[in-house]
Amino acid sequence: MRFSNLVGTIALLIAIYILWQIRFIVLLAFAAVALATAINYLVHFLMRLGIKKRGIAIVVSLALLILIFAGFIFIVVPPFVDQLQQAIDLFPQAVDEIQIWFNWLQEKVPEQLVGEIQRLENVTRNLPSLASRVIGNFYSIFTGSLGALLNILLVTVITIMLLTTPHPYMRLYLAFFPSFYRRRAAQILKKCETALVGWTKGILFNMLVITVLSWLGLTILGVKLPLANALLAGLLTFIPNIGPVLSCIPPIILALLDAPWKALAVLILYILIQQVESNILTPLVMKQQVSLLPAVTLLAQATFAIFFGFIGLFLALPLAVVAQVWINEVLIKDILSNWNGKKQRLGSKSAKNPFVRHQTSQTSPQVFTTEISFSDDDQISE
């Protein structure tokens, strides 16, 4: 091995180690890039509507997002705080009602299920002590919330910087690639942006439909705070598999304070809504967009959650979408399809990408990479 190769290998290992040590910051930077990509699409949409200056379009886009976020907080947080106080006051009564319900179930169900019911009964008896421990950890919850707010502020500032002057950051990123591959890397980044925009539009549509269906179902069942619970269900749709489970907990608790049968009805309602989302909405909306296979989605969530914690779970799907594009373009098209000098494109009719259910649409919005210039030595060698 030549000395230059040895130095390059050592530098690469050191860079990987440093990136792993600051992985949380890297994930926050990726969140800012993904958010800037989505907002950039809205900026260009406003410019097509008649706003000529990009700066004004950025301000209008950010103002709209702030209004939506503030409205969500205003609708969801105060009612839940009020209901939480009422739930704490009614908690002993709810435990007694659950105890009566379990006793009734023990008389009606087969003997094989009595043991399972007794285990649930033991859980309900421990609920008061569990609630007291949660309230006792209020300080740690407060400090964690403060840290989350600071992270959100950091992501917001970086997003605004990327929206205002995207091209210098893009050139800086492309400078880390060899000169012959920079134009190809810019093309891959453009496809990543197209995939992220398409996935964002699809998930926003799913969130809207699930919010409407949840609101209608909870209103018909007479559950308290139907709009707040529906908005929460729509928001948590961003986290597949785990989000729907978390979203059904507040309405089930509120329904349980009224009647046990109503809590069961809420659970059935959310299961039906998720079936509609999985079997109808997702195949329909993602037909022309990037669509991850269910197993890939679950594995991505588990992997990123193990390595990066909650923020990895939250960003698992955007990360998987971007990783899918890079794997498809670099590993499959540029390396494996050109093995032994035979140039075959997986995008052709004869070979399809086995890692995706639907191919990415080639219709691309205006992107950050459209105005990047390259010198003559930046061309890809044929």
pLDDT in tens, 68-82: 888 888 877 777 677
Cα-Cα end-to-end distance for the chain: 28
CA 314 to chain CA centroid, Å, is: 5
Label each residue of 332-365 as H, E or C.
Answer: HHHHHHHHHHCCCCCCCCCCCCCCEEECCCCCCC
Residue bearing the bigger pLDDT, 288 or 272: 272
Q: 294-349 pLDDT, tens per residue?
A: 777 778 878 888 888 878 888 888 888 898 899 988 888 888 887 765 444 444 44
- The reported pLDDT for the residue numbered 126 is 54
Q: What does the mean pLDDT of the chain come to?
A: 75
- The reported pLDDT for the residue numbered 289 is 60
Residue 381: which pLDDT band, with cuts at 50, 70 and 90? very low
- The reported pLDDT for the residue numbered 309 is 80
**pTM, rounded to two decimals:** 0.67
* Averaged pLDDT, 138-166: 77
- Integer Cα distance of 23 and 231 in angstroms: 31
Residue 14 has pLDDT above 50, yes or no: yes
- Integer Cα distance of 235 and 151 in angstroms: 19
Percent of the chain with pLDDT over 70: 69
Residue 128: which pLDDT band, with cuts at 50, 70 and 90? low
CA 148 to chain CA centroid, Å, is: 16
Across the chain, the runs of DSSP E, i.e. the strands, are 291-292, 356-358
Structure tokens at 121: 């009964």
Please name the residue that has the structure tokens 């609708």: 75
Quote the Cα angle for 269-270-274, to 5°: 120
Helix (H) or strand (E) holding 66, with range, is: helix 54-108
Helix 182-221 / helix 226-236 crossing angle, nearest 10 deg: 150
- Integer Cα distance of 293 and 354 in angstroms: 10
Phi, psi of 2 (to 5 degrees): -70, 160
Residue 236: name the closest of 84, 62, 87, 72 by CA.
72
* Alpha-helix residue ranges (DSSP H) falling in the chain: 3-21, 23-49, 54-108, 114-125, 127-136, 138-164, 166-174, 182-221, 226-236, 243-247, 249-258, 260-276, 282-285, 294-314, 316-326
Please name the residue that has the structure tokens 């103002």: 63
Phi, psi of 354 (to 5 degrees): -75, -10
Structure tokens at 37: 């990509």
- Integer Cα distance of 100 and 123 in angstroms: 14
Residue 382 has pLDDT above 70, yes or no: no
Residue 375: which pLDDT band, with cuts at 50, 70 and 90? very low
Quote the Cα angle for 49-360-364, to 5°: 30
- Integer Cα distance of 376 and 71 in angstroms: 51
Phi, psi of 293 (to 5 degrees): -65, 150
* Averaged pLDDT, 41-57: 88
Percent of the chain with pLDDT over 90: 9
Residue bearing the bigger pLDDT, 152 or 115: 152
Burial class of residue 31 (count of CB atoms within 10 Å of its CB; 0-12, 13-18, 19+): buried
Please name the residue that has the structure tokens 């044929």: 382
